Amino acid sequence: MQTINPTENTWVIAGNGVDLFLPGLVQPGEEYVTGQPIVEQFTNRDSFLSRLDELSILYEENDYVPEIKELTPDWDAFNAYTLSDATFKSYRDTVRVVDGELNSALFDAYSLVDTKGTGAFSVVWTQWCVVSQITVLHKEDIANVAEGFNLPADFVAIVRGSTP
């Protein structure tokens, strides 16, 4: 717990690294006790509001708001998963027998998603799913893994078989 007892009007941002708590104004002579560490203190309301804008936080005073963190897609980890997962490998093996180049096209297409969008991936994925005969359940599993690696929502939707 942390206590502040300001000598002038103070605005605080407190948090635990996951959530930020914005109690707003703590006036002189008031004691404010928080179970969260104080992240930042401001004695100027405009500076406080400006900092919230920088953090892209919409708030009402005394609200809990999530800390805004930009999640980075981890394409390398997703690629490692698709290369090492036994179930996915069995589908790749099926595709290899029918169309040896389609697996490479799939990996090439999803490597372009961040820079070129999902158009090429969508076309290749659709063909790959037909050839591999992947089940809806396994598409859902792959989509869940993709979400876990913070891959783009439109990419995940295509993997699931839904329109982004």
Boundary of a domain, candidates 15, 47, 66 = 66
Q: What tokens were used for 128?
A: 């790959």
pLDDT at 51: 73
Question: pLDDT tens-digit profile of 66-91?
Answer: 444 557 888 989 989 998 999 999 99
**CA–CA separation, 17 and 32 (whole Å):** 20
Total count of domains within the chain: 2
* Angle of CA points 53, 55, 56, to nearest 5°: 60
Indicate whether 126 and 99 sit together in one domain: yes
Indicate whether 52 and 79 sit together in one domain: no
Indicate whether 79 and 126 sit together in one domain: yes
**CA–CA separation, 1 and 3 (whole Å):** 7
The domain of 115 spans 75-160
Average pLDDT over residues 44-48: 71
> Is 130 within 8 Å of 123 (Cβ atoms)?
no
Indicate whether 86 and 143 sit together in one domain: yes
Indicate whether 89 and 107 sit together in one domain: yes
DSSP string, 84-146: H-HHHHHHHHHHHHH-TTHHHHHHHHHHTHHHH-SHHHHHHHHHHHHHHT--HHHHHHHHHHH
Indicate whether 42 and 87 sit together in one domain: no
Indicate whether 55 and 99 sit together in one domain: no
Residue 59 has pLDDT above 60, yes or no: no
Q: Confidence band (pLDDT; 50, 70, 90) for 56?
A: low
**CA–CA separation, 153 and 118 (whole Å):** 10
3-state secondary structure of 63: strand
> Measuring CA to CA, which residue among 26, 61, 56 is closest to residue 2?
26
Of 49 and 115, more confident: 115
Question: pLDDT tens-digit profile of 134-157?
Answer: 999 999 999 999 988 889 989 999
pLDDT at 26: 57
Cβ of 124: how many Cβ atoms within 10 Å? 19
**CA–CA separation, 109 and 100 (whole Å):** 15
Question: pLDDT tens-digit profile of 4-34?
Answer: 566 666 666 666 544 444 455 555 555 555 5
